[in-house]
Chain A
Amino acid sequence: DGGITQSPKYLFRKEGQNVTLSCEQNLNHDAMYWYRQDPGQGLRLIYYSQIVNDFQKGDIAEGYSVSREKKESFPLTVTSAQKNPTAFYLCASSIYLRAGELFFGEGSRLTVL
């Protein structure tokens, strides 16, 4: 079945360590996105990519990095520069010219110890 796969589902990290969250989609969507959700907050856009080898900063990109070497993959690295990395991270994809109808993965919960 087509969909978006995020891994790992749960991740623990020590302060000062970088961690990479995986996101793979087989929906043949051009656009992919990373969001962060904090308790009582809406979804906030970290990075997005409209095509391979291109990506743009979202509203809260500081302390994060991404790559888009393949259409299917859009990994997110949470660096040690991110001051408050504990959160629920959601990857999504869409047909680019259909704003809003995002397909989300199941999310990855990162906890910094």
Chain B
Amino acid sequence: DQQVKQNSPSLSVQEGRISILNCDYTNSMFDYFLWYKKYPAEGPTFLISISSIKDKNEDGRFTVFLNKSAKHLSLHIVPSQPGDSAVYFCAASRAPQGGSEKLVFGKGMKLTVNP
């Protein structure tokens, strides 16, 4: 049973435009959400997170939106740059405290930003 779903395996956008990456979850107990970015043959790097007490968190060009009633979150990248081309993983946890062994990852989405 997949608790964190990234239903679109890939997305292609033009440089300068907005990239929107979506993530759905099924477990209503999740209350902490993260996005990781991964380049080929490298480990993922933490990008941005959001707690369920918020509906938006922004960090530079990256903004994550959380819709708890829809069990949906999205990552917006504005403006998109070719260096953003990577696989993006959505992850969810029951609490920001405690161990990362509680993290559940989605399957990832490949973003391609074309010059």
Contact = CB atoms under 8 A, between A and B. Distances in A.
A113 interface: no
B102 A99 contact: yes
Contact of A107 (B41, B49, B100): B41
Interface residues of A, number: 32
Contact of B89 (A42, A99, A103, A109): A42
A78 B103 CA distance: 23
Contacts, number: 83
Contact of B49 (A6, A42, A100): A100
Interface stretch (B52-60, B61-69, B78-86, B91-99): B91-99
A40 B9 contact: yes
Interface residues of B, number: 29
A6 B102 CA distance: 23
A94 B99 CA distance: 8
10 contacts: A43-B44, A91-B43, A92-B43, A99-B32, A99-B99, A100-B34, A100-B49, A100-B100, A102-B103, A106-B41
Interface of A: 4, 6, 9, 31, 33, 40-45, 48, 50, 56, 58, 90-92, 94, 96-107, 109
